[in-house]
Each structure stands twice: as structure tokens, then as C-alpha cells.
């Protein structure tokens, strides 16, 4: 880019008068285009080759990166990253057969993939140095990976940015390296896709969910923290790269077109998960994630749709769990009854519904912060109340702090969920059974969420959230619709609670605090909704998965967990206030683009993408 750089200099001084360079803008580093491309490619190929070498000499570092010719764990992740970089680079340069990879940006995905690979390789190097004590433990392969991944990044930073500098943006008149770097990560939206035959579209959706299942399973199955961090780095950068390449947008158009098929494919993929597992070790994690995610989805009705900040939501989960535990036939339950499962679900949901209405009726007359404080109070009242119903401070109902233990396993249609069953040649343990049961409830709750969202009552919730006075002037009984949202949210949590009681096999007040280190609790539920994206279906599911997996996998952050979450939330609110999965509405609300939002899709009230 030696030839273009002086040009960039002149553009900087006389920016507004200079005609725009439609082919893009200079990259972060002044390299000739050809050199940049060659460097990137050479670096990525070198990184690929390095993963075939040993990275360290001892098996003491987890994963045993000592083999030649067979990459494992962190090496595999680096390998995947380098392949992704090569693929994007070739696709961006018009190699036949790969062009579908980059309908949107071409440089930005390469840069992001290179950064992801770099991140994984350098993180591994750092981890080896820390765990084993010093660089002396590196084998040559590690040094190769470190340098080639750096070279890839340097090369990628020399590539020309996809979009020309915006002459209206004063920061880009005389862009410094940082501005040029940020600019090089921008990418244009992809052009409309060529019409595919129906079967190809469905195949694309199926393949996507297959890949999604694979990635998710890989993440859950990571046996040690270092691999999980490497996984998060690669997935984070890789997902952003796919978004910049325009693939995510194309895919979301497809899924919006085939809503029900997407919905089905997602749950088929989720149902396949236990069949990929050889033991119950990770299905228990998955079952707990589902419980957490489902409750977060219920909270999303209250917070995301109706805009009611509920800080005591976990109490409803507790009511459902306690109700189910009392009628479960446990020998520690004061009621000596054993309801069949369906009746227990109805009891739990019904109890939560009543509790929701009883709490909601007085509190929903409050707004905003006041409501948040009162719900926080009620959440704690529930926990303390359960502690006091122990026979000495109050009537003997819940055994106080000891809780209700020995909750028997569920038996549905003569099928004992506590025993191993062999289905299709795969042995499913108790947690796999509960996972599948919970998945069934997730489907119900997702369906309820989607249907309620796109209806008269859903619109009324959003209207009340947007402007309650105007909503009332439009004939909406604000209190009534808010109470319905509150009661619905409570009922959904109660349903999840009945399953939770059986999964954990004991119910104690300590499980239902405002904040503690183990999710689900009120603070984490709210964080999952906000992190994932308010008002969406997939947002809370992803948010809950992350919030459950990160502490479960990274044992070493232990005491600093809450601190780190606080920090992560602050950063998220600063840089992506709409959450990981953005509702179109929220995106516009938080990022004032100054452009008119001109929809391209067909008719319909497509509010909840995904």
C-alpha cells in the first residue's frame, strides 16, 4: 500500500472535497496489497502447519500437546481458526466455489478470524508458560504457532478495508491507527441472495443447526478451563467474522422465512445432545442450563416484553419447586401425598400463579425503580418465609433450612427417569432423561413466548412498556395487562420449578437467593436476559448457557466470579446495550444511526427474530 498511502494523506487534509474511493479504505498497517495478502496466507498456512507439531514436551499441560501430526484440543481450535482465515481470504479474493462465504465484508472476516486464531495460539502459549513455568517448556511448534499467528494478524491488518471512509465522520478525516483498525472491521451488508431451491434452503438450516449442536457440544464437553477459554475466544471471534462476512444475515433471512422449520430443527438438534454423550457428566450440566434458560425465558416475558423489572423472580421458581416437592411423596414432605407428574406440574404452576397474582396485585401499581425494590423484597421474603416454616418459628411445612430432601425420581408412563435406559443403542442416564423432559418444557415455554408476543396482549405489553399513559389512552388497562404478564411469568417459572425439584432431588431455601455464585438466582436470571438480548427467544437461551457454563468450567475464577460478571455487564452495557442477540427494535433504540430503518422483509410483525 505504498502507493495508496500518500493518497490517503491527501484525502485526510482535504477530506470533504476529495471524491470517495469506492474500493475501500487503507488498512491499519501500510502494506502493499499483494504483500498483505501473501503475508496473511503464509501466516495462516504456517499456523496450520504448526498445529501438526508438538507444542510442549510434557503431558503435564492438560490435553497433552506433545504429539507430532495429530493436533489435539487447543491445537485443534487453532487449526480451525487458521482454516477459517484461509477460507475467508480465498473467498474474498474470488476463488471459485468459495465466494458464497463472503457475500458481505471480505477483509473484516479475515481480520477477525486471524485475531481469533492469534488469540487462541497466544493464550495457549501463555497458559503453558504459566502452568508449566516459563517459555522453556515450549517445543518449536509452539514458537512457530506464536510467530505465524502474529504474521497472519499483521498481514490481515494490511488488507484494504471493505468500506470507504465516511466523509461525514470527523474522526475519519485524519484517521489514526486505532480509527483505521476499527474501520477495517466494518463491513457492508450482503446483497440479496440468489434464490435457492426449497430443499437447499432446508438443507442449509439443517446443516447450520448440526454445526451449532457440534459447537455447543464441544463447549460443554471441554474437560478443563484452558480449553474452554480457547473455545470462547475462537467462537467469539468466529461468530463475529461470520456476521461481518454477511453469512449470519443471510441465514437469519432463511430462518425468518422458514420459522417453524427453524424452530423444529433447533429442538431436534437440542434433543440430539444426550445421544452424543457417553456419560452423565455433562448432561447434568446441560439439564441445569435448560432449567436456567427456561426460567430466564419466563423472566423475559416480564422484563423483555412488559418492561417490568422483577428482581425477585427466582421466588416463583422456588414456589413451583416447593409445591412439587410437597406433593412428590418424599418422606420429608409434611403432605404424605404422591401426585402423578402431570398433577405435580399443575400444582407447581398453579401455586406460582397464585403467588404471582398475590404479589403482583399490590406491587404492580408501582413503577420503575420502586417496583424493582419491592420485588427484590418479596423475593427475600419468600426465602426467609420458607426458612421459618420449620415448626419452631412457624408452622411445620418446609423443614426450614434443611428443606425437603429425598424427592423421588419421576415416573412418567411407567418410565422411571431416575434409571438408565437404552434408546437407539445409546445409554441415557437419569440426567439425560431429565434433560429431555426439560427440553419438552422449554418447547412449551418458547411456544408460549412466541405466541403471546405476537398477539393483541403482546402488543399491549410492549405499548405499556413504551408509554403507559399513551397505552391507557388507547384503551389498554395497564394494570391488568401488567398483572397478566407477571402471572404468566410466574406460572412459567413454577412449571420449570417442578422439574427442578426432581432434578436436584432436594429443595432448600438457599437455592432461591437474590444473588449467589450458582445460577439460577434472581440476579443471574436478569443478567442472562440482558446479556442475551431482551425480548428475544434465543437471547436468554444463549445468555443462560454462557452464565452457567463460564463459572462451571472456569473453577479458578471462583471468588472473583461476581466481580467479573459485574465488569462484563458494565462493558456489555457500554458497547452492546441491546445484548448479544439484538431485537431489531432494540438495536435501533440503542444505536442512533440517523438512517431510516427501511425493512426489506415481507409483511408481518416480525419482532422476535430467531
Partner 1 sequence: MTTTTTTGTPQAQPAGRTDVLRASGVTMRFGGLTAVRNVDLDVDSGEIVGLIGPNGAGKTTFFNCLTGLYIPTEGQVAYKGKVLPHRSHLVTKAGIARTFQNIRLFANMTVLENVLVGRHTRTKEGLLSALLRGPGFRKAERGSEERAMELLEFTGLAGKREHLARNLPYGEQRKLEIARALASEPGLLLLDEPTAGMTAGETSATRDLVLAVREQGTAVLVIEHDMRFIFNLCDRVAVLVQGEKLVEGSPEAVQADERVVAAYLGTPFEGEPGEAEAAEVREAETREAAAHDGGQTGTGENPKGEQH
Which element (helix H / strand E) includes 149? helix 140-158
- CA-to-CA dists, residue 478 to 158, 353, 464, 481, angstroms: 56, 19, 6, 5
What is the closest distance, in whole angstroms, from the C-beta atom of residue 608 to partner 1 in the complex?
13
Residue pointed to by grid coordinates 399443575: 346
Nearer to partner 1, 145 or 530 (CB): 530
Phi/psi of residue 338, each to 5°? -130, 100
What is the closest distance, in whole angstroms, from the C-beta atom of residue 483 to partner 1 in the complex?
11
Nearer to partner 1, 269 or 463 (CB): 463
What is the closest distance, in whole angstroms, from the C-beta atom of residue 587 to partner 1 in the complex?
10
Q: How far apart are CA 387 and CA 532, in angstroms?
A: 33
Residue pointed to by grid coordinates 437461551: 541
Nearer to partner 1, 315 or 445 (CB): 445
Q: What is the DSSP string of 557-596?
A: GGGGHHHHHHHHHHHHHHH-TT-SS--HHHHHHHS--SS-
Burial class (CB in 10 A: 0-12, 13-18, 19+), 561: middle
Residue 81 near residue 116, CB atoms below 8 Å: yes
Phi/psi of residue 129, each to 5°? -60, -40
Nearer to partner 1, 29 or 460 (CB): 460
Phi/psi of residue 568, each to 5°? -60, -40
What is the closest distance, in whole angstroms, from the C-beta atom of residue 342 to partner 1 in the complex?
18
What is the closest distance, in whole angstroms, from the C-beta atom of residue 530 to partner 1 in the complex?
17
Q: How far apart are CA 510 and CA 504, in angstroms?
A: 13
- CA-to-CA dists, residue 59 to 53, 72, 219, angstroms: 14, 12, 22
Residues paired with 427 in a beta bridge: 422
Longest alpha-carbon distance in the chain: 85
Nearer to partner 1, 278 or 447 (CB): 447
At 427, list the grid cell.
445409554
Nearer to partner 1, 192 or 200 (CB): 192
Please enumerate in sequence order all residues whose Cβ is within 8 A of that of 556, keeping only pairs 6 or more positions apart, or say none: 225
What is the closest distance, in whole angstroms, from the C-beta atom of residue 500 to partner 1 in the complex?
23
Nearer to partner 1, 331 or 606 (CB): 606
Burial class (CB in 10 A: 0-12, 13-18, 19+), 357: middle
What is the closest distance, in whole angstroms, from the C-beta atom of residue 354 to partner 1 in the complex?
16
Cβ neighbour number for residue 58 with a 10 Å cutoff: 12
What is the closest distance, in whole angstroms, from the C-beta atom of residue 477 to partner 1 in the complex?
5
Nearer to partner 1, 159 or 488 (CB): 488
- CA-to-CA dists, residue 463 to 314, 330, 369, angstroms: 26, 45, 19
What is the closest distance, in whole angstroms, from the C-beta atom of residue 150 to partner 1 in the complex?
44
Nearer to partner 1, 559 or 597 (CB): 597
Nearer to partner 1, 168 or 473 (CB): 473
Residue pointed to by grid coordinates 438480548: 533
Nearer to partner 1, 1 or 485 (CB): 485
What is the closest distance, in whole angstroms, from the C-beta atom of residue 301 to partner 1 in the complex?
10
Nearer to partner 1, 265 or 488 (CB): 488
Residue 60 near residue 132, CB atoms below 8 Å: yes
Q: Under the rule (CB under 8 A), what is the footprint of partner 1?
A: 447-448, 451-452, 455-460, 462-463, 466-467, 469-478, 484, 488, 585-586, 588-589, 596-599, 601, 603, 605
Nearer to partner 1, 369 or 592 (CB): 592
Helix (H, G, I), strand (E, B) or coil at 264: helix
Residue from 365, 361, 358 nearest 381 by CA: 358
Helix (H, G, I), strand (E, B) or coil at 25: strand
Nearer to partner 1, 231 or 461 (CB): 461
Q: How far apart are CA 215 and CA 222, in angstroms?
A: 11
Q: How far apart are CA 47 and CA 51, in angstroms?
A: 7
Nearer to partner 1, 142 or 581 (CB): 581
Q: What is the DSSP string of 371-433?
A: HHHHHHHHHHHHHHHHHH-BSSSS-BSS-GGG-B--PPPPEETTEETTS-EEETTEEE-HHHH
What is the closest distance, in whole angstroms, from the C-beta atom of residue 309 to partner 1 in the complex?
17
**Torsion (CA) 62, 66, 72, 73 in degrees, nearest 10:** 30
Amino acid at each position: 500500500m505504498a502507493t495508496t498511502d500518500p493518497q490517503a494523506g491527501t484525502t485526510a487534509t482535504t477530506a470533504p472535497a476529495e471524491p470517495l474511493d469506492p474500493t475501500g479504505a487503507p488498512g491499519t498497517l501500510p502494506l502493499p496489497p499483494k504483500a498483505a495478502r501473501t503475508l496473511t496466507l503464509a501466516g495462516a498456512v504456517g499456523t496450520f502447519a504448526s498445529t501438526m507439531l508438538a507444542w510442549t514436551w510434557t503431558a503435564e499441560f492438560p490435553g497433552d500437546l506433545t504429539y507430532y501430526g495429530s493436533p489435539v484440543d487447543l491445537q485443534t481450535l487453532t487449526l480451525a481458526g487458521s482454516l477459517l482465515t484461509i477460507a475467508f481470504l480465498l473467498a474474498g479474493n474470488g476463488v471459485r466455489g468459495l465466494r458464497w462465504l463472503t457475500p458481505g465484508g471480505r477483509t473484516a472476516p479475515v481480520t477477525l478470524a486471524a485475531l481469533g486464531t492469534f488469540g487462541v495460539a497466544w493464550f495457549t502459549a501463555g497458559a503453558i508458560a504459566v502452568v508449566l513455568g516459563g517459555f522453556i517448556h515450549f517445543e518449536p511448534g509452539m514458537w512457530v504457532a506464536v510467530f505465524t499467528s502474529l504474521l497472519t494478524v499483521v498481514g490481515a491488518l494490511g488488507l484494504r478495508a471493505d468500506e470507504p471512509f465516511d466523509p461525514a465522520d470527523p474522526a475519519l478525516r485524519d484517521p489514526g491507527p486505532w480509527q483505521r483498525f476499527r474501520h477495517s472491521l466494518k463491513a457492508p451488508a450482503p446483497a440479496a441472495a440468489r434464490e435457492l431451491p426449497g430443499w437447499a434452503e432446508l438443507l442449509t438450516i439443517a446443516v447450520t443447526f448440526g454445526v451449532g449442536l457440534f459447537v455447543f457440544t464441544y463447549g460443554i464437553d471441554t474437560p478443563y478451563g484452558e480449553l474452554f477459554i480457547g473455545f470462547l475466544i475462537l467462537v467469539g471471534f468466529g461468530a463475529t467474522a461470520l456476521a461481518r462476512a454477511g453469512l449470519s444475515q443471510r441465514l437469519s433471512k432463511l430462518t425468518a422465512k422458514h420459522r417453524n422449520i427453524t424452530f423444529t430443527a433447533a429442538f431436534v438438534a437440542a434433543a440430539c445432545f444426550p445421544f452424543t454423550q457417553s456419560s452423565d457428566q455433562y448432561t447434568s450440566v446441560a439439564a441445569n442450563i435448560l432449567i436456567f434458560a427456561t426460567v430466564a425465558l419466563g423472566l423475559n416475558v416480564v422484563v423483555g416484553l412488559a418492561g417490568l423489572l422483577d428482581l425477585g423472580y427466582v421466588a416463583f421458581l422456588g414456589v413451583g419447586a416447593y409445591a412439587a416437592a410437597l406433593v412428590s411423596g418424599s418422606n420429608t414432605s409434611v403432605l404424605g401425598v404422591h401426585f402423578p407428574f402431570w398433577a405435580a406440574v399443575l400444582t407447581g404452576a398453579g401455586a406460582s400463579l397464585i403467588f404471582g397474582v398475590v404479589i403482583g396485585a399490590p406491587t404492580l401499581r408501582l413503577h420503575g425503580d420502586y417496583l424493582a425494590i419491592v420485588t427484590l423484597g418479596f423475593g427475600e421474603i419468600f426465602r426467609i418465609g420458607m426458612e421459618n416454616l420449620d415448626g419452631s418459628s412457624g408452622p411445620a411445612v418446609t423443614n426450614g433450612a434443611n428443606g425437603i430432601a429425598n424427592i423421588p425420581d419421576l415416573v412418567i408412563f411407567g418410565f422411571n427417569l431416575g434409571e438408565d435406559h437404552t434408546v437407539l443403542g445409546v445409554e441415557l442416564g437419569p440426567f439425560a432423561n431429565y434433560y429431555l423432559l426439560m427440553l419438552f418444557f422449554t418447547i412449551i415455554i418458547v411456544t408460549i413466548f412466541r405466541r403471546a408476543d405476537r398477539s393483541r396482549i403482546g402488543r399491549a405489553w410492549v405499548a405499556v412498556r413504551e408509554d403507559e399513559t399513551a397505552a391507557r389512552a388507547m384503551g389498554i388497562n395497564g394494570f391488568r395487562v401488567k398483572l397478566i404478564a407477571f402471572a404468566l411469568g410466574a406460572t412459567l417459572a413454577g412449571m420449570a420449578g417442578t422439574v427442578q425439584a426432581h432434578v436436584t432431588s432436594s429443595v432448600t431455601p438457599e437455592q432461591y437467593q437474590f444473588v449467589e455464585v450458582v445460577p439460577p438466582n434472581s440476579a443471574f436470571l436478569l443478567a442472562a436476559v440482558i446479556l442475551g438480548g431482551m425480548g428475544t427467544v434465543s437471547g436468554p437461551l444463549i445468555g443462560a448457557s454462557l452464565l452457567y457454563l463460564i463459572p462451571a468450567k472456569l473453577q479458578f475464577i471462583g471468588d472473583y466470579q461476581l466481580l467479573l460478571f459485574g465488569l462484563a455487564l458494565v462493558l456489555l452495557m457500554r458497547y452492546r446495550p441491546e445484548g448479544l442477540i439484538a431485537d431489531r427494535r432494540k438495536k435501533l433504540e440503542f444505536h442512533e444511526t440517523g438512517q431510516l430503518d427501511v425493512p426489506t422483509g415481507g409483511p408481518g410483525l416480525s419482532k422476535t427474530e430467531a
